[in-house]
Amino acid sequence: MSFAIASNVVNRSSDETTLQQMLDAIGRDRNTSFIVYDGNLKSEAEPCRDALYNTRQQIFDSSRKPVVLLPGGNDWASCSSSQAGGYDPVERLDFIRQSFFADSNSLGQTPMSVIRESDVARFRPFRENVRWQTNGIAFIGLNAPAPNNHYLTAGGRNGEFEDRSVANAFWLEHAVETARRTDMRAVVVILQGDPDFTRYERRDRFAWLRFSRGDTSRDGFLELKRSLVKAAESFRGPMIVIHGSDTPIVKGFRIDQPLRNDKGTVVANLTRIEVGLKNPRTQWLEVESDLSWRPPFRVRVRDVTVRPNAQAQGSPPASAPAASSVPSVENGAPGPSSFFQEMQPVQQHPAPAPASDGAASNATPQMPPLLNPNPPPTVPPILNAPSNPITPASGASNKADGQ
């Protein structure tokens, strides 16, 4: 199975064509099962008008692949700014819920069924929190936006934040327990905001007092990180947390194990994939999985490219990896990709030299087989120490790394 992660594609109305092209390109990729759009369907400066949301919803609904949309900070939390029109963020979030999450289906021409938290009577408003299962993997989508999970320091009760924190904690626990009881092999949690896992706070007997102190240093993701620790301890199998980055990352993503429990010990079965594409308007992240692989996941950056002959005929662009991001396949072994098993990062293979410019410009890149149930013993061993960095691929990887 393979799925796509995209976000931050649209910054102005002229980028709507870019979003359409990206969805069309991913839709032509036969191996991609679905798309997760991880927040920010608009820029922070764009006015949060009804018409803007309606137009972009139509674009998502035109996708050939199912699209699961997760709200980002620009989509509702920042709508109170003057440049965004001075809207009430809570009212805008309710509008998004009614517009994009009206039923138990994803967006797209061929939507897939999802389960929404609004099915639980106590959490009827939280339609954006979703879960679904496929190929032995449980997926969980949460509304946890940047910056700082929309924690406000104004006096009085921070109602929106507190209610959503309770809803997110319940949904994560409920989804993980369902995954455990249905014998899912792995759990993938996706959110938009950066939880800042390096910020570690032990439990405080009087932590509840912080809600009334207006503490500007208050960690808005504190409850979520504690819920993730609890979920990982309950599930015990591999858990992946995917979220956006506030700044671009050289490779386009980062894989590590930064979360700790109350004792300061690294949560060994939880891995973070932080997505920071250099050019999110023309790039998306592909996550491939086969539970028979050892290790079972791999990640790579894909580029949206337009073939000259297709562009001349007015056809949608094709989605193809850059020459440096296509895994080589020798004797059935996957090539240069970022791998992890039982949530442990491993080193990359050296990449073969890219094709000549002429060949690359005139030929459609051929995708290698994604499933490799019996990799040969030449696959490099897994690094057992979470602190070991991922060694970037040499040679052809430079293009994907933006070097």
CATH code of 69's domain: 3.60.21
Note whether residue 376 is domain-resident.
Answer: no
pLDDT band per the 50, 70, 90 thresholds, residue 153: confident
What pLDDT is recorded for position 395? 35
Non-local CB neighbours of 267 within 8 Å, separated by 6+ positions: 228, 229, 232, 233, 257, 259, 260, 261
Note whether residue 384 is domain-resident.
Answer: no
Place of tokens 């079965």: 269
Between CA 221 and CA 240 the distance in angstroms is: 17
Which of 397, 251, 250 is CA-nearest to residue 323? Answer: 397
Place of tokens 């002959």: 309
Runs of H (alpha helix) within 345-384: 357-362
Q: Which of 204-218, 251-265, 281-295, 296-310 has the lowest mean pLDDT?
A: 204-218
Q: Are strands 2-6 and 32-38 parallel, antiparallel or unpaired?
A: parallel
Tokens representing 257?
């194990």
Is the distance from CB of 228 to CB of 271 less than 8 angstroms? no
Q: Which residues pair with 286 in a beta bridge?
A: 4, 300
Q: How far, in Å, are 66, 86, 189, 282 from residue 53 at the CA level? A: 18, 16, 25, 21
Between CA 199 and CA 220 the distance in angstroms is: 11
pLDDT band per the 50, 70, 90 thresholds, residue 307: low
Non-local CB neighbours of 223 within 8 Å, separated by 6+ positions: 165, 168, 169
Between CA 68 and CA 34 the distance in angstroms is: 8
What pLDDT is recorded for position 57? 97
Tokens representing 82?
């003057």
Q: Which residues pair with 69 in a beta bridge?
A: 37
Between CA 56 and CA 80 the distance in angstroms is: 20
Specify the higher pLDDT residue, 49 or 319: 49
Note whether residue 392 is domain-resident.
Answer: no
Instruction: Work out the average pLDDT over 334-352.
Output: 36
Is the distance from CB of 168 to CB of 189 less than 8 angstroms? no
What pLDDT is recorded for position 117? 98
Q: How far, in Å, are 159, 160, 207 from residue 156 at the CA level? A: 9, 12, 16
Note whether residue 154 is domain-resident.
Answer: yes
The reported pTM is 0.76
State the Cα torsion 400-243-174-206 to the nearest 10°: 150
Between CA 162 and CA 178 the distance in angstroms is: 24
Average pLDDT, whole number, for the chain? Answer: 79
Is the distance from CB of 181 to CB of 137 less than 8 angstroms? no
A 10 A CB-CB count for 390 gives 18
Q: Which residues pair with 239 in a beta bridge?
A: 187, 270
344, pLDDT greater than 70: no
Is the distance from CB of 184 to CB of 138 less than 8 angstroms? yes
pLDDT band per the 50, 70, 90 thresholds, residue 265: very high
Note whether residue 319 is domain-resident.
Answer: no
Note whether residue 372 is domain-resident.
Answer: no
Between CA 298 and CA 130 the distance in angstroms is: 24
**Residue 11: domain span:** 2-289
**CA-angle at 344, arms to 339 and 350, nearest 5°:** 35
Give the total number of structural domains in the chain: 1
Which of 119, 103, 121, 123 is CA-nearest to residue 111? Answer: 103
Q: Which of 31-45, 149-163, 192-206 has the lowest mean pLDDT?
A: 192-206
Note whether residue 156 is domain-resident.
Answer: yes
In degrees rounded to 5, what are phi and psi of residue 260? Answer: -125, 155
With the C-alpha atoms ordered 232, 235, 238, 244, is the resulting torsion angle positive or negative? negative
Instruction: Work out the average pLDDT over 103-131.
Output: 97
Is the distance from CB of 47 to CB of 37 less than 8 angstroms? no
Note whether residue 33 is domain-resident.
Answer: yes
Instruction: Work out the average pLDDT over 16-39.
Output: 96
Instruction: Work out the average pLDDT over 301-313.
Output: 64
Ordered DSSP codes for 191-252: -SS---TT------TTGGGHHHHT-TT--TTHHHHHHHHHHHHHH-S-EEEEEE-SS--TTS
